[in-house]
Amino acid sequence: MSRSLKPAEEKKNTRLVSGDTAPAAALKRVMPMLRDDDTLFAALIARDPSYEGFAYVGVKTTGIFCRLTCPARKPKRHNVVFFSCRDAAQDAGFRPCLRCKPLDLKRPASGALDALRDKIRSEPEKRWSAEDVKALGYDPSTVRRAFQREYGITFAQYARSQRLGLAVNTLQQGGSVMDAQLDAGYESGSGFRDAISRLIGDAPIRASMRQILTADWLDTPIGAMLAVADDAGVHLLEFAERKALPTEIERLRKRVGPISFGHHPMLDRLAHAMEQYFAGRSLSFDVPVVQRGTPFEATVWNALQQIPAGTTRSYGEIARLIDRPDAPRAVARANGSNQVAIIVPCHRVIGADGSLTGYGGKIWRKQWLLEHERRVATTFSKGSEA
């Protein structure tokens, strides 16, 4: 765990000053989130997820405290009080809400989503239909929306990816094509081959001979991420909502090889590191990253990994750092083409004027990650001084 993090400069002023002419120190400051009561109340009404973990609401009439994203009916403005952490709410005598479970690290996804995910895991070989969803007492369109929101795919597609993952694992372990077929629940061999081909870009009989990248979903407090890895390291880590994701998967498949859902020790290692990161126990990663790009991109990605957690840099600063002061735009492009989010911290690069600029995984997540790192880095530096 890296204890060498520099203290993040705390400043009440929420506007980052700027221009490349401003002192570098000013640019290293990470913007604390705006959190006056009016802003928080608006976020409460909007069920804005960007305050997840940074703000809680106590409802005076019930003595209960919630996440701002709680699905329950929203209280009146004069009945609420805001807290910046769970402990403060509890110290003030509020009890945690049973619906949004503010004491749990992970925000509960919709109840249906959690329950169905468990069902799929318990019967991974089953072919799930809208009828099955209905039979379990859920509204198929609500379920479709919940999966779409969380993973960017439908429930049926999610179930299918799990099913195919199982089949491909069987193949890799030397199982016969027939077993894999049965696992996948496909009646006809050609149907199965077609599905596998679409997914990993090769016929199953040859699947075990080629290098296979393994994919899986990782759940984080700010949404699902798709992770792709092999023995060498992590090739891709992106939020499910990222628009460029299908293109990136295609590129990876072309440059490296077929991808299939399944289990892999590197993914377990990554999942553990991500858990540590989101729990605020460590902001550094010792998971190897394998990312193919142009030499310029590789230089930029390497520079990104030198930005200490809890701080930010401008595109211009990175350009100067890699001795290409003329190329801030190219740096911005290389930053945007990074496909191993968080570990290669492209979110730590902001506009010269302090604006957050773009983030493929959505701006609110960039804000969330910076705020999370600022807080954790501050805690570490206080800890090491004590």
Q: Which residues are catalytic?
A: 346
Smallest CA-to-CA distance from 15 within 38, 37, 31 is with 31
Of the candidates 380, 223, 239, the residue with the CA atom closest to the CA atom of residue 310: 380
Q: How far is 241 from 264, CA to CA, in rounded Å? A: 23
Is residue 66 near Zn ion by the rule CB under 5 A? yes
Q: Are the C-beta atoms of 68 and 59 separated by less than 8 Å?
A: no
* Closer of 80 and 166 to Zn ion (Cβ): 80
CB of 218 to Zn ion, least distance (A): 25
Instruction: From 68-76, 182-190, 209-217, 312-320, give the range in contact with Zn ion by CB under 5 A.
Output: 68-76
Cα gap 386→383, rounded to integer Å = 5
Cα(71)–Cα(73) distance, integer angstroms: 7
For residues 74 to 103, the per-residue mask of contacts with Zn ion, x marking binding by CB under 5 A and - elsewhere, is -----------------------x-xx---
Q: Which stretch binds Zn ion (CB under 5 A): 58-66, 78-86, 126-134, 220-228?
A: 58-66
Nearer to Zn ion, 57 or 318 (CB): 57
Select the residue interacting with Zn ion from 16, 40, 55, 70 (CB under 5 A).
Answer: 70
The least CB distance from residue 65 to Zn ion, in Å, is 8
Min dist. Cβ of residue 72 to Zn ion (A): 5
- Given the complex with Zn ion, which of 64 and 256 has the nearer CB atom? 64
Q: Does 59 bind Zn ion (CB under 5 A)?
A: no
Cβ contact 96:85 at 8 Å: no
Distances (CA, A) of 278 to 125, 208, 242, 271: 32, 35, 19, 11
Minimum CB distance to Zn ion smaller for 69 or for 220: 69
Q: How far is CA 380 from the centre of its chain?
A: 23
Measure the CA–CA gap between 31 and 267, rounded to whole angstroms.
32
Is there binding between residue 256 and Zn ion (CB under 5 A)? no
- The tokens describing 230, both together, are 């092999």
Choose the binding region for Zn ion from 64-72, 146-154, 233-241, 266-274 (rule: CB under 5 A). 64-72
Which amino acid is residue 191, in one-letter code? G
Q: Which residues pair with 57 in a beta bridge?
A: 66, 82
Nearer to Zn ion (CB atom), residue 94 or residue 155? 94
Decide: helix, strand or coil at residue 83: strand
Looking up tokens 């290692």, which residue turns up?
A: 269
x/- letters, 96..135, toward Zn ion (CB under 5 A) = -x-xx-----------------------------------
In the complex, the smallest distance separating the C-beta of residue 221 from Zn ion, rounded to whole angstroms, is: 15
The stretch among 65-73, 106-114, 294-302, 375-383 that binds Zn ion (CB under 5 A) is 65-73
Q: How far is the CB of 67 from Zn ion (least distance, A)?
A: 6
Number of residues that bind Zn ion (CB under 5 A): 6
* Alpha carbons 326 and 149: distance in angstroms, whole number: 40
- Hey, what are 213's tokens? 């990248």
Q: Smaller CB distance to Zn ion: residue 97 or 245?
A: 97
Question: Rounded to an integer, what distance in angstroms lies between the CA atom of residue 280 and that of residue 121?
Answer: 28
Name the residues that contact Zn ion, by CB under 5 A: 66, 70, 72, 97, 99-100
